Each structure stands twice: as C-alpha cells, then as structure tokens.
A and B are shown apart, each in its own frame.
Chain A
Amino acid sequence: MRTKRNMFVLLLFLFTAANAYDINVPVTYDTLPNGLRIIVVPDTNVAVVSCRLYYFVGSMYEQFSRTGLSHMYEHMMFKGTKRLNTKDYTKELPWLNKIDSVDKIIFTLKSRGIPDTAAQRVKLANQIVGFMEKEREYVKKDEIWELYMGNGGTHLNAWTADDMTAYIVTLPKNKVELFYWIESDRMSNPVFREFYSEREVVLEERRMRYENQPANRFYEHLNSLFYIAHPYRTPTIGWKSDIENYTIQDLSNHVKQFYTPDNAVLVLVGNIDPKKAVPDIKRYFGAIPRAAVPKQEVVTREPPPIGETRLTVRDNATPQIDIMFHTPGYDNDDLYKLDVLESLLSGRSGRLYDRLVNREDLCTGADASNSFRLHNGSFEISATLKKDTDPAKVEKILREEIAALAAKPPSEREMERIKNSIRMSFVSNLRSLEGLSDRLAWFERLGSWKSMLSYPDRIAAVKASDVPAIVKKYFDFDKATVGVLLQKEQK
C-alpha cells in the first residue's frame, strides 16, 4: 500500500525542457496504477481548460467485416451509460436485452442470405421498432451533451483516426470535475442504446463524406491501394457493407478490448493546477480496471512494394495527381529529414509550386506532405492541374524535381526558409489549448509526449547534405503509388 503511494509521487514530475527554439512547456505527467496516463499543462492566462480523453484505438485495430467500429463507438459514447441518458436503467435494461436478442436473430438470417424484404425479417424489424419505442420511454435524450453544453462546454465533440479516438470538450476552469465524472462513467458503464438509429446516422455520414465528395472518394481508394497489408488501408469510417452489418455484440467486444484506462491518456491544458487535478483524476478513474486481456498490438508491417501501383479516376472533380512513397514508421531519424524535404517542396516559393505554377503554368497548386505514423509512414507529392493540362507532363516534371533533389543539396537560403517554416508551425501549434492537447497525445501515442519538445532539436540536426541521400533512399518512382483524378471528359 505504502509502496504504491510512493510510486504515485515518484511518477508525478514536471518537465519544462528548453529546446532549440527556447520554448518551455510546463508538462506534468503521471500514470495511475491502472495504466491511465495523465498529462497536465497549466496556463493561468485563460479561464478555461481543454479536457480531452484519448483512447489508443482506431481503424488499424479493426478486423475485416468490422471496419469502422471505433468510429461507430465514437458516436455511441454519446448515447450514455447506466447512469446517464436514462431515467431508470433497471427498467430500461429488459427492453435493451429484447432488442439485442432480436438483433441476433436478424443477424443470423442476414448471414444466411435472407433479404430484408422477406416476411420473417420484416416481422423482426417491426418487433425491434416496437421494443425501441418501449425502451425510449426510459431514455433521457442526449443528457451527456446537455450536461456539457449547459455547463459552458465548447469544442464538444469526438474524433477517430487510424490509431486514436478522442472525446473532447473545453470547459470553464471551475467545471473540470464534470469531465472527470462523465468520462470515468463512460469508460466504466457504457450502454449501447439507440444503436440502430445511430448506425443509420453513420451511414449518412459516410454518404456525405465519401459518396458525394469525389475527391474524398478518390483519396479513400488511393490510400487502400497504397497500403496492401497494413490495416492503415482501412478507412476510419469503415466500409459501407460493414457498417450496415454491425451488431451490438461486435461493438461490445470491441469496447471491452480497447476502451480501458491502460489504453488511454487524459490531457488537460488550461487554467488547472496539476497538484489538484491528478488526485481528482485518481478519485474518479482510479478504480476502473485494466483490460481483462492486454491489448494485442498490430504486428503487420507493410512489405516493400514490388512495382508501381496506379489509380486513374474520372469524376466531377478538380483534376489532380498524387504520388505516394513508403517511409519508415516512428521513431526514425529519417522522418525528420523527410519533414525538411516536405518544407523544401511546399509553399509558394517551394520547388513544386515554383516550377508547376509559376514557371510552367500547368497547375494551380502543388504541395508535399510527410506523414509520421507508428508503423509505416507515407510521403506524398501532389499537384492540382489546370483544365487542359496533360497529367503525364506534370508527372514528368514531378520526377525531374525529385531527381534534382537527389543530385544536389538545397541551398543555405532554402534551409533557412525551411527551418523558419517549421519553427513557425511549432509556435503556432502551441497557441491553441486544444491543438497542444492533440499534439501531446499524438506524440504520447507514438512513444512519448516528450518527443513533442525534442522535435525542434531533431529538426535542427538535419543538414542540407542529408537531403540527396534521403531522396535516393525513399523516392523510387518505379515503386510508387500514383493516383490521377481527371475530369470526366478529360483524356
């Protein structure tokens, strides 16, 4: 007992590292015995606190036929618990169980290929509607949302990525306890009410984000071609056919496996005293058990590409070309060199814009993007084409620009521009409480939040002479993934 308390004190420490930019961020870090990590950054200049709980789960942990479950649960977390969104859970529960049992029968019939128009399925569907109406008598609609909003909550939302799901709200500094209450309860006692209507909502979201946005639809497919093995290929929202077939049991299994304190980090940034916050968090979250079975990390790694992959799509969209290259996972020194390369290629005076937009007049935009990812990263160069531009010509120029970088290091002036640009981004990211929360959590997910503070030093260590070697190492056009989005009538 005493030992545990001492450990608690030892784990709590303050980190205010100076870095290459001479900027200190006063971070307090702690881990509860149940594995919940806590990051607190006090800022007494504001009267609010950004409160965010991140679970280290997302689409990369999902199986075939169940893609998008993390995103589905992002929605379902707002449906309440045994104590929230309900007038009387004991009276509600029998109806939830009845809904669940009919759902299992429907799922079996679906699996046997019986269509939803078959009499048996229509009858069961009507039965569910009847049970839902009964269950609804005990539902206190959207109480979680009402509690947060009625207490000055802003930025209330949730989001899902490939390896993280976040539940977020910014509260007045005197209301942070509300966050502890709701989030500890959501972690302990979730209830999957209104599951079927929410599944329909997610399908509507998918229609809106992908089916009816030609560029997004293009990127979704391109990403799935880029990764052939790693589950990064799975769209965060999930495939339509999977969403249509989710069951409550699928969701329940997923939640038990991943939504536990040992797979989460709680980040508070704003007007809050860490000395008070950490014991309060312990009081609310300390008794929540770890996952019964420790999380299985994804072991799949992307195999080296064996040739070029190409996707050509004709649609009602601005024409563009995207070329993607495989890069290493985190942490690797090359990633920082690739960040420098990204800046070298981007911007109005970056090499791509300068050549394709200013000098050749073929495009209206050109850019580059380096993505840090835990297992396998990506580097993308892209250009937005003018109406009659030949994509082959643009692709040839992109190759030439990359070849030039492989042949000769960037100039001193270019390096100065790049480092200013990266420093500016770093400072800008610190200006938002919510943005800082996300960055700390993101680095914690990759390995340690401390990497956010050491990032400037890693960038400062990159030399102009590193660039040609890094280009040669990763930019093999014969093994790239090339996406070309053309207008329907374009040749």
Chain B
Amino acid sequence: MNLKTSGLLIAFAALLAAGFCGQAQPPSHPSKITYPPLDWKVPLGAPYRQVLDNGIVAYIAEDRTLPHFQMSGIIRYGEICDAPDKEGISSLLAGCMRTGGTASYNSDTLDAIIDLYALHVSVSASETRMSFSCECLSEYTDTCLYILSQILFHPSFEEKKVKKQTDEFLESIAHRFDNPDPVLDACYEKAMYKDGHNSLLPTMQTVKRISRKDLVELHKSIFKSENMMLAVSGNFSAPAMARKLTALFPKNATANAPASYPDIAVKPLAKCVFVNKPISQSYVRLGLPLFKRPNDDYYAVQLLNTILGGEGFTSRLGSKVRSDEGLAYVIYSSAGSNYVYPATFFVEFHTKNETASRAIALSFDEIRKIRESGVSAEELAHAKKVLIDGFPSMFRSPADIVDNYADNEFLKRPPDHFAAYPGKINALTTADIIAVAKKYLDPAAITVTVVGDSSAVFKADTVAGFSLRSIKPAVNVSAPDSLFGLK
C-alpha cells in the first residue's frame, strides 16, 4: 500500500465515523462543545399549594404518567423533643403507630390489607421531625388514604404490638455499635454537644420506661392538623384529592401548645475524643461549631465547603488525601444545615489505623491553607456551577416539586427560596469565602473524634509536626458505650 492510498483510506474511515451525514467531527476537548441554551426555569410551588378546610397545608400535584399515587407528610416534633428520661419515645411511637392496629382494624388485619393491596405505608422519627408516607398503585388510592388516616389519627396501640416494638427497639440498641459508622455518628454528637439533647441516646432503661399511656399521650399532643405539612402527587384530580384529604384528616385544634424544640448549643467535650474499637480502620471527624439557619453566612459556607471537601474528587481534601495519597476511600467535608439548633462543620474520612494521624495532619493542613490563602476565582466559579447547575435534577417530577416545597415551607423559608438561590450564590466573591473561612474554620477550635484501634493508631502517631496524642484536653474511652456512661 502506498502512502497516497493509505491517506485515502484514513479519510474514508473518518467519513465512516462521521456517519455520512455531513456531521462535524467532535470538538478536540469538551470545553469546546457548544451547548444549546437550557429552556428550563425553577418551578414555583404556589400553583400546587392549598390550605385545606381542615387547616392542613398541602402541596398537591397531578401526575398522570403512571398508575401511581404517593403522599408524604411532616410533623413538627423529633427525637430531640423526647423527655430526658424517655429517650426513644418518638421512634417507638412511629413504630407502634404503623404496627399497633387502628380503631377500624386490629393489627393483623391492618398488615393483611396493607400487604394485599401492596400499599407502602410508613411512619418514622428523626432528630427534628416526624415523617409519614404512603404510596400505592393509583387504583388503590382511596384504600391507601383511608389506611393512612387511620394510622395517623386513630392508632390503637395494641399492648402486644407495643411490647413487640419495644423488644425490637431493645434488640436494635444492643447492636447499634456493631458497625463503625453509627459509632462515629453518636460519638461525634457527644464530642460536639456534650450537654445537648441531640447527643443523648435511647438506652435499655429509657425505652423500658416508656408505657403505652406515654405513647397515647404523645400521639395526641403532636399529630394535629396545624402541626402537619403534606406533599401529594399522582394519578388523580387535584380538586378531588383536596376534598378527600379534607374529609379524611380531621381538624383537631390542639389543647396543648405546638411542640417546641429544646435549646441546644455546640459545647465540645474535649479537643480529642478517642473511642477504642478493634477494627482495621479509623473513622475520623474533625468538627467545628457553625450556626443555626437562617444565617447570612450560610451560602458562603456552602461554597467554602464545596471547595474544601464537599464535592467528591475535585475538592481539595479529595484530591490530596484520596487521590494523591491513597489514604482513604471516603473523605469529605460537610457544612451542617440546621434550622433548629446550631450545626457543625466537619471533615470525615476512614483510613487504616496506621495512617490515621497522617490523614488527620493532612486535613488540618488543608483547613489551614484555605483559611489563610482563600480560594481561587476558578475554584469559586466551579463551586457555583456545582451548586446551581444541578437544579433541573432536583425538580424532575411533580413529586419532587411538591416534596421540595412542602419541606421549604416546613423550614419556614420564603416561597421564592429556590428561585432566588442561584442569584444569592452568584453574588458571592472570593473575599466572602475567605471571610467565612477565617470566621468558622479555626484549626485551634477543632475537635477530633476518632473511632478506631487505639494501639495501632498511637503506634503510628509519628507524623512530622503533628501528634494526635498531643491534642489536649483529650477523652479516651475503651468502648463506645463508655462515652455515654452506659458501661
């Protein structure tokens, strides 16, 4: 084959690749791709918002794409509201509402109906809210709504089911520290909020102390129409759905004041909290006090977090600790967003015990660097795109829209929160970022929480210029339970 023929063949191959359609060759780099404009705007919540005759605020959206119905709801009450000697009552309440039968159906019949029609019905409790949800094939919507209304407003708390739920709760307490993640979660809360209600754990004693009567009273006081927010979507007519919800969910003005959250402040237990657990990795968090939202610094902190460790591989911590050094599979930072009590900012990673001190030292370095030198314009521009350009994915279905706006109103944010968000992010400058870095990322204020094998960690605590052992004051415990005075 001569050169001329070869050249012709290459040209022919290129033509084949282009599909004979006169299409342009792909650009030489993705940065040279010209994208068409995105004809999309953040959807508004107002068209879906209704105040039902029973006083409940509901976001209702029709969605005819599939034979499906779903509803979720939020109640203003959470685990941090549990009485100090009855920690765990909100979780137990949630479990017993779902499993303990109702005025219309005993528990076995209730389970049988839920299973027969493939209804997904749940009630749950988290730190600052109780939630409920139901989901079903749309042909069973009326049954599903009726069952949910029974569970929410007419639970019967059958004794045998309360006992069963209590037993299951006690079993879960016995195993809550089997895996390292929940140990770190609990110990970090204790390390950062030593007196806070959020750092208290349900124990065998507090759970056994909860009676059926306690559950009935708590239910009565919090499952009220004015304490509730709904998000409903699916294959139905919106006006008809509003009528059904009005009929099924009673208007029950509370005799008590609406639930209030306890005051909680960040109060570190020590500068280093080491919890011994004989595992091959150390699970580590470096924590700093932040603030309660709303707070004017939040958006700048969110950008700071994205650049430091909030955005996977390209963040500074991911790049240094994971990609360059190969020290961790999981490493990230998180700027807490909490509307009930002051949150914290933390860096978390898991690394083999032998490299724990080294990874902690590197994380301190990155925190110092960003605080002292700030961020580049390129880093900031990228972080802004990360936070803003993913919005279309957040509002992809009617269910997403109503869920997001119900949550928004529950958090008492303005109705234009989502629409205004890009403008607020785009207005921030590198000076704003370094200002919040200086304000919140003070290395001297860091509390280090480590869950790992102390002998292996301290044996390798020989990093130049850094020693975990030298961080004082320190609390060292031989097992997770000990930190909570349980053993």
Contacts and interface: CB of A to CB of B under 8 A. Distances in A.
Contact of A211 (B120, B280, B392, B393): B280
B350 interface: yes
Interface string B18-32: 111101011111110
Interface in B120-145: 120, 135-137, 140
B324 to A, nearest CB: 6
| Interface of B: prevailing SS | mixed
A428 B397 CA distance: 13
A479 interface: no
B114 A201 contact: no
A254 B399 CA distance: 43
Nearest to B168: A364
Given A141-B314, A141-B319, A347-B115, A48 B19 contact: no
Contact of B323 (A5, A141, A282, A286): A141
Contacts of B352: 203-204, 207
Contacts of A283: 17-19, 23, 25-26
A288 B330 CA distance: 34
A287 B13 contact: yes
A137 B116 CA distance: 63
Interface stretch (A59-67, A167-175, A225-233): A167-175
B313 interface: yes
A212 B68 CA distance: 40
A317 B329 contact: no
A357 B160 CA distance: 12
Contact of B171 (A153, A194, A364): A364
Nearest to B36: A174
B66 A23 contact: yes
Interface stretch (B174-182, B205-213, B459-467): B174-182
Contacts of B393: 48, 152, 154-155, 170, 172
A463 interface: no
B7 interface: no
Interface stretch (B243-251, B263-271, B382-390): B382-390
Given A142-B319, A416-B116, A286 B16 contact: yes
A47 interface: yes
Contacts of A48: 392-393, 396
A25 to B, nearest CB: 10
A194 B33 contact: no
A23 B67 contact: yes
A342 to B, nearest CB: 14
A142 B14 CA distance: 30
Contact of B108 (A177, A207, A214, A358): A358
Residue among A78, A149, A194, A421 with most chain B CB within 10 A: A149
A178 interface: yes
B255 interface: no
B326 interface: yes
Interface in A141-183: 141-142, 145-147, 149-156, 170, 172-175, 177-178, 180-182
A259 B328 CA distance: 27
Contacts of B399: 431
Interface residues of B, number: 81
B406 interface: no
Contacts of A21: 67
B327 interface: yes
Contacts of A417: 115-116, 118
A16 interface: no
Contacts of A214: 178-179
A151 B388 CA distance: 10
Interface in A351-402: 357-358, 361, 364, 386-387
Contacts of B164: 357, 361
A46 B350 contact: no
A20 to B, nearest CB: 13
A146 B175 CA distance: 40
Contact of B389 (A151, A198, A358): A151
B313 A145 contact: yes
B308 to A, nearest CB: 15
A33 to B, nearest CB: 8
A10 interface: no
B403 interface: no
Contacts of B40: 47, 172-173
A248 B439 CA distance: 45
A200 B359 CA distance: 14
A101 interface: no
A427 interface: yes
B392 A47 contact: yes
Contacts of B311: 149
Given A146-B382, A201-B329, A279-B21, A194 B280 contact: no
B137 A424 contact: yes
A53 interface: no
Contacts of B327: 200, 204
A196 interface: yes
Contacts of A420: 116-118, 137, 140
A245 interface: no
Contacts of B120: 424
Interface string B342-358: 00000000111000000
Interface in B369-395: 382, 385-386, 389-393, 395
Contact of A282 (B14, B19, B114, B140): B19
A96 B319 CA distance: 19
A430 B390 CA distance: 22
Contacts of B351: 204
Contacts of A287: 13-14, 16-17
A441 to B, nearest CB: 20
Given A150-B385, A364-B171, A433 B396 contact: yes
Contact of A431 (B25, B174, B389, B397): B397
A350 B115 contact: yes
Contacts of A152: 385, 389-393
A316 interface: yes
A126 interface: no
B33 A177 contact: yes
Nearest to B115: A349
A348 interface: yes
Contacts of A145: 312-314
Contacts of A136: 324
A1 B114 CA distance: 60
B174 to A, nearest CB: 6
Nearest to A419: B118
Interface string A425-463: 001101101000000000000000000000000000000
B118 to A, nearest CB: 4
Contacts of A474: none
A433 B31 CA distance: 27
Contact of B386 (A150, A173, A350, A421): A150
10 contacts: A47-B395, A141-B319, A150-B382, A172-B38, A174-B35, A204-B351, A349-B112, A364-B167, A417-B118, A423-B118
Given A152-B392, A204-B327, A361-B164, 18 more contacts: A83-B28, A170-B393, A172-B38, A172-B40, A172-B393, A174-B38, A197-B325, A198-B326, A207-B281, A207-B352, A211-B279, A283-B18, A287-B16, A287-B17, A387-B171, A417-B116, A420-B118, A424-B120
> Top 7 closest A-B pairs, CB basis?
A200-B326, A152-B389, A287-B17, A197-B326, A424-B118, A205-B329, A47-B392
Interface of A: 1, 5, 21, 23, 45-48, 78, 83-84, 136, 141-142, 145-147, 149-156, 170, 172-175, 177-178, 180-182, 184, 194, 196-205, 207-208, 211-215, 279, 282-284, 286-287, 316-318, 347-350, 357-358, 361, 364, 386-387, 413, 416-417, 420-421, 423-424, 427-428, 430-431, 433
Interface of B: 13-14, 16-21, 23, 25-31, 33, 35-38, 40, 65-68, 108, 111-112, 114-118, 120, 135-137, 140, 164, 167-168, 171, 174-175, 178-180, 279-281, 311-314, 318-319, 322-330, 350-352, 382, 385-386, 389-393, 395-397, 399
